[in-house]
């Protein structure tokens, strides 16, 4: 399970504060030292940890104690609020365009889970929000990617728009949108090409699609298991493409959680969804507060 080590350590640290009638500056310092180590061990970005600990310290030292809480509980509350904030605070919503269809562009490196997530997102929009999505296969470099999306479409009984590998991705996207209007689809989700590494050709192509299609959302799919790499990938995609949100996949694995805890702080873009397994119904909206509660117990 994700975050196990971090959760254990933070809960252990917080336990020392529970029920404390008085929390000294020394207690706060000891607590933040342990929180700092736990976060670093969970592979959270160094600078993110530093800022986090500074904020907790500032707020926890010398704060007024609310009548309903013991000082110990109050400090724990500060840690929880800051952890929630770190992951994005409020849970963010998915865009709905004034003009149907709403267009979502999925981007990411190969193997991150982009194609699977494209299917999962369509499934979630249909199931939870009663929407009628159209999937678009715009990865023209790998015939296998088109087949994979078509297989997913069949499994979900959601149509897939494809034009093979000879067409240009911008044309594919534009024709897919025209088709969506004709067939009254209210969401179009475009699965774009991925590469093994961030490279200029990939970014050029994605920028072209973005400029021409003007999507309502650009979701970057990153693999939580890759830790700091996921954060670096998010940073470069955001610089080049100005993404609107992140989908963190493989949170069901034993990731240490560093990516989940650093991405918002580093890119200032929210994590919108979390992939929790290989199955097509294993995508959840990302709730920062719930995640913080899970980590702190």
- Is the separation of the CB atoms in 76 and 14 below 8 Å? yes
φ, ψ of residue 30 in degrees (nearest 5)? -65, -45
Assess 32 for contact with ligand GDP (CB under 6 A). no
Among 71, 88, 101, 108, binds ligand GDP (CB under 6 A): 108
Coil/strand/helix, residue 106? strand
- 250-279 residues in contact with ligand GDP (CB under 6 A) are 250, 252-253, 275-278
74 part of the interface to ligand GDP, by CB under 6 A: no
Which residue has 């889970």 as its token pair?
113
123 near ligand GDP (CB under 6 A) = no
Residue 276 CB, nearest approach to ligand GDP (Å): 6
Which residues are registered as beta bridge partners of 247? Answer: 221, 273
Is 252 labelled a binding residue?
Answer: yes
Spatial distance between the Cα atoms of 13 and 35, rounded to a whole number of angstroms: 7
Q: Which residues contact 60 (CB under 8 A, 6 or more apart)?
A: 23, 28, 31, 32, 74, 75, 78, 79
Q: Is 115 in the site for ligand GDP (CB under 6 A)?
A: yes
Q: Would the annotation count 137 as a binding residue?
A: no
Q: Is 191 annotated as a binding residue?
A: yes
Q: Which of 19, 89, 111, 143 binds ligand GDP (CB under 6 A)?
A: 111
Residue with Cβ nearer ligand GDP (102 or 116): 116
Cβ proximity to ligand GDP: between 25 and 281 the closer is 281
Residue among 103, 245, 102 nearest 173 (CA): 103
Element (H, E) at 160: strand 160-161
By beta-carbon proximity to ligand GDP, the closer residue of 184 and 279 is 279
Q: Is the previous residue joined to 31 through a cis bond, with omega within 30 degrees of 0?
A: no
* Sole window of 60-68, 74-82, 94-102, 110-118 interacting with ligand GDP (rule: CB under 6 A): 110-118
Query: What span, in angstroms and rounded, lies between the C-alpha atoms of 240 and 108?
Result: 12
Q: Minimum distance from CB of 190 to ligand GDP (Å)?
A: 13
Answer yes or no: is 165 a known binding residue.
no
Interaction of residue 143 with ligand GDP, rule CB under 6 A: no
Contact partners, residue 61, CB within 8 Å, separation at least 6: 25, 28
* Residue 111 is labelled as binding a ligand: yes
Cα 260 to Cα 268: distance, rounded to the nearest angstrom = 12
What residues form the annotated binding site? 108-115, 191-195, 249-252
What residues form the annotated binding site for GTP? 108-115, 191-195, 249-252
Q: Point out which residues bind ligand GDP (CB under 6 A).
A: 108, 110-116, 194, 249-250, 252-253, 275-278
């Amino acid at each position: 399970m994700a975050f196990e080590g971090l959760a254990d350590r933070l809960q252990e640290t917080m336990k020392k504060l529970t029920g404390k009638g008085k929390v000294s500056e020394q207690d706060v310092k000891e607590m933040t030292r342990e929180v700092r180590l736990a976060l670093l061990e969970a592979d959270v970005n160094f600078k993110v940890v530093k800022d986090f600990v500074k904020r907790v310290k500032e707020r926890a030292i010398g704060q007024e104690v609310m009548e309903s809480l013991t000082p110990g509980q109050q400090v724990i509350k500060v840690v929880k609020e800051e952890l929630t904030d770190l992951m994005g605070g409020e849970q963010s919503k998915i865009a709905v365009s004034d003009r149907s269809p709403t267009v979502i562009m999925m981007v990411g490196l190969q193997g991150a889970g982009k194609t699977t997530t494209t299917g999962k997102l369509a499934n979630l929009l249909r199931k939870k929000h009663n929407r009628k999505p159209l999937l678009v296969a715009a990865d023209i470099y790998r015939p296998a990617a088109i087949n994979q999306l078509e297989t997913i479409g069949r499994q979900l009984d959601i149509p897939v728009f494809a034009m093979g590998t000879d067409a240009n991705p911008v044309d594919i996207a534009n024709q897919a949108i025209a088709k969506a209007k004709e067939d009254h689809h209210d969401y179009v989700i475009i699965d774009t090409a991925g590469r093994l590494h961030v490279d200029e050709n990939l970014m050029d192509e994605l920028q072209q699609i973005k400029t021409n299609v003007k999507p309502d959302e650009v979701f970057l799919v990153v693999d939580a298991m890759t830790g700091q790499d996921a954060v670096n990938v998010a940073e470069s995609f955001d610089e080049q493409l100005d993404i609107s949100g992140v989908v963190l996949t493989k949170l069901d694995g034993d990731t240490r959680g560093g990516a989940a805890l650093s991405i918002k702080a580093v890119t200032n873009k929210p994590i919108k969804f979390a992939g929790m397994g290989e199955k097509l119904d294993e995508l959840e909206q990302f709730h920062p507060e719930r995640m913080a509660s899970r980590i702190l117990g």
